[in-house]
Amino acid sequence: MTDSPSSASALVSRDHVRTLFSRAMSDMYREEVPQYGTLMGLVRDVNADVLAADPALAADLARADELERLDLERHGAIRLGTAQELFTMRRLFAVMGMEPVGYYDLSVAGVPVHSTAFRPVTDTALSRNPFRVFTSLLRLELIEDEELRAEAAAILKRRAIFTPGALALIERSETAGGLTREEAERFVREAVETFRWHGEATVDAATYKRLHDAHRLIADVVSFKGPHINHLTPRTLDIDAVQTGMPERGIAAKTVVEGPPTRACPILLRQTSFKALEEPIRFGGAAGAVEGTHTARFGEIEQRGIALTRKGRALYDTLLAEVRETGGAGSEGADYAARLTEAFRRFPDSYDEIRRQGLGFFRYSLREGASPAFNGPLDAAALDRLVAEGAVVADPIVYEDFLPVSAAGIFQSNLGGAEQRAYEGHASRDAFEAALGASVADEFALYQQAEARSLADLAARLGPAQSRAVA
């Protein structure tokens, strides 16, 4: 596959289609939610300040192929109603090289959905454009009221969220192994239609109210023509600066930043958002059109840090639970940030310690111009020595995924925070994968493979004798 426009029948890369799509989504959302544009401006300014103030960081990011993708980088979120919708959504994202990674059960946090993230998975694709979409599937089986459950299912069954043009091009891509330039552009125009906001509800006001009373999220998924994108999130290099900058630009920020505290070496993912907008909608029905409002769409910012190993993640989960469970306070309380910082003192805050203790994933490479005397094998001790000598660089691998506790916090902050109780039903990964028509990739395995690939390359560069003995 190639990006070259030389022939009209040549296929363009999936990365190219994804970039076209993420731009089109961003343009559409900026038009629909002007505060998103304001937020993008703020993030751009903060990122420029951080890079200007820290040339070493700028150099590290450039070497790790992180710099170029920074301004392109964002994620979005959608909520689907049926298994069929999820199945087709997987095929739609596959056209753009996005695959389902991870399973998130949000029912434990009182949100009746389970989710995955569609995202690119290869090193090259990620460095070109890591656009991801957090995709949730409503779990109607968690609605207690049987009649309402049946009604919601019937409403969802009647809708068709994909345009005929999008469906045809998904099939085309599946049979031809990709799309031509012209098809890709048409595909993006058609695909974006699915995620557009519709001010017209498909239900009458009374039905909306019943769905809303069962759970605000159920009303959001069931009452509309399609799964409107509910936020788009740019990536910042300093979320604390964005958090303080938001009110200055007239944006009402959520009080607590989700995820780990401020650290010298950022881990995983920190996120904050601005409150969902109350938007006018019109209900249909026998009585004629009725005006109402709906709250769903918001803005969010994220800062990404190093991907953690299972061991590192377990430590993160333990420390976070400790803070949140103190007096059952969750993330409430003025001292939350201070308690978080205190608890995370037990998480080493230097890349060197994180690496030695096996808490995070790294990408290893030979430093430019280095030619260390080396006689293999490239085991852990040899690697430590080469890193200590400075001949080998260990760059943190960026966390590309999401965090269930944070996601629940983001959901809740936009649901008015009223629905806190956990649902009885627990994780249902098998049902999710059956609906998806595929299994979700294991995020830890993906990071592990990325690290292993870098070690294999390094071993090959150090000398052929070593390439047979990778640590």
Which residues sit at the interface with ligand OOG, rule CB under 6 A?
Answer: 77, 79, 134, 136, 230, 271, 300, 402, 406-407, 410-411
Q: 235, 250, 210, 392: which is closest to 302 by C-alpha?
A: 235
Taking the complex as a whole, the smallest distance from the CB of residue 232 to ligand OOG amounts, in Å, to 10
Q: Does 300 bind Ni ion (CB under 5 A)?
A: yes
Taking CB under 5 A as the rule, which mask of x and - marks residues 73-92 in contact with Ni ion?
A: ----x---------------
Judged by beta carbon, residue 221 or residue 315, the one nearer ligand OOG is: 221
Question: Considering the complex, what minimum distance in angstroms separates the CB of residue 199 from ligand OOG?
Answer: 19
DSSP secondary structure string for all residues of 424-464? SS---HHHHHHHHTSPPBPHHHHHHHHHHHHHHHHHHHH-T
Instruction: Indicate the helix (H) or strand (E) that contains 99.
Output: strand 99-105
Query: Residues 74, 235: contact at Cβ < 8 Å?
Result: yes
- CB closer to ligand OOG out of 303 and 428: 303
- Shortest distance, position 43 Cβ to ligand OOG, whole Å: 15
Q: How far is the CB of 333 from ligand OOG (least distance, A)?
A: 22
* Residue 406: contacted member of ligand OOG, Ni ion, none (CB under 5 to 8 Å, by partner type): ligand OOG
- Residue 76: closest CA among 112, 30, 108, 110: 30
Tokens of 271: 């996120």
Q: Which is nearer to ligand OOG, 15 or 220 (by Cβ)?
A: 220
Whose Cβ is closer to ligand OOG: residue 194's or residue 271's? 271
Which of 382/410 has CB closer to ligand OOG? 410
Q: Which is nearer to ligand OOG, 196 or 461 (CB)?
A: 196
Closest by CA position to 305, among listed 261, 344, 338: 261
Partner from ligand OOG, Ni ion, none contacting 79, C-beta within 5 to 8 A by type: ligand OOG
Closest contact distance (angstroms) between CB of 230 and ligand OOG is 5
Nearest distance from residue 428's CB to Ni ion, in Å?
Answer: 22
Q: Give how many residues touch Ni ion by CB under 5 A.
A: 3
The CB-nearest residue to ligand OOG is 407
Distance CA 265, CA 406 (A): 19
Residue 172 belongs to what H/E stretch? helix 164-176
- Is 130:156 a contact under the CB 8 Å cutoff? no
Give whichever of 40 and 77 is closer to Ni ion, judged by the CB atom. Answer: 77
* C-alpha to C-alpha distance for 336 and 301, rounded to whole angstroms: 20
Q: Give 15 or 300: the residue with its C-beta nearer to Ni ion.
A: 300
- DSSP letter (8 states) at residue 73: -
β-sheet bridge partners, residue 279: 294
CB 439 within 8 A of CB 115: no
Q: What, of Ni ion, ligand OOG, none, does residue 136 touch, CB below 5 to 8 Å by kind?
A: ligand OOG
SS3 272: strand
Q: Cα separation of 306 and 172, whole Å?
A: 38
For every residue of 256-267, which 3-state class applies, written as one string? CCECCCCCCCCE
Nearer Cβ to ligand OOG, position 21 or 411? Answer: 411
The one of Ni ion, ligand OOG, none whose footprint includes residue 230, by CB under 5 to 8 A per kind, is ligand OOG
Give residues 207-246 in contact with Ni ion (rule: CB under 5 A).
233
Q: Cβ 421 to ligand OOG, closest distance in Å?
A: 18
Return the range that interacts with Ni ion (CB under 5 A); candidates 200-208, 293-301, 384-392, 440-448.
293-301
Question: If you search the block for the tokens 């994968």, which residue do you land on?
Answer: 433
The rounded distance, in Å, linking the Cα atoms of 165 and 15 is 21
With CB under 5 to 8 Å by kind, the binding choice for 343 among Ni ion, ligand OOG, none is none
Question: Is 406 or 467 the residue whose CB approaches Ni ion more closely?
Answer: 406
Cβ–Cβ < 8 Å for 136, 77: yes
d(CA 290, CA 282): 6
Query: Shortest distance, CB of residue 466 to ligand OOG, whole angstroms?
Result: 41
Q: Measuring CA to CA, which residue among 169, 413, 173 is closest to residue 296?
A: 413
Report in angstroms the alpha-carbon separations of 358 from 123, 207, 361, 362, 403: 21, 53, 8, 10, 20
322 by Cβ neighbours in 10 Å (0-12 / 13-18 / 19+) ranks as: middle
- Pick the closest to residue 180 from 358, 398, 6 (CA basis): 6
Q: How far apart are CB 300 and Ni ion at their closest, in Å?
A: 5
Task: Pick the closer one to ligand OOG by CB: 75 or 355.
Answer: 75
Query: Measured at the alpha carbon of residue 444, what is the angle toward residues 232 and 89, in degrees to the nearest 5?
Result: 45
Q: Taking the complex as a whole, how short is the minimal distance between the CB of residue 322 and Ni ion, in angstroms?
A: 25
Q: Cβ-closest residue to Ni ion?
A: 300
Residue 336 binds which entry of ligand OOG, Ni ion, none, CB below 5-8 Å type-dependent: none
- Residue 406 Cβ vs ligand OOG, minimum distance, rounded to whole Å: 5
Q: Which stretch binds Ni ion (CB under 5 A): 69-77, 210-218, 286-294, 356-364?
A: 69-77
Which residues contribute to the site for Ni ion (CB under 5 A)?
A: 77, 233, 300
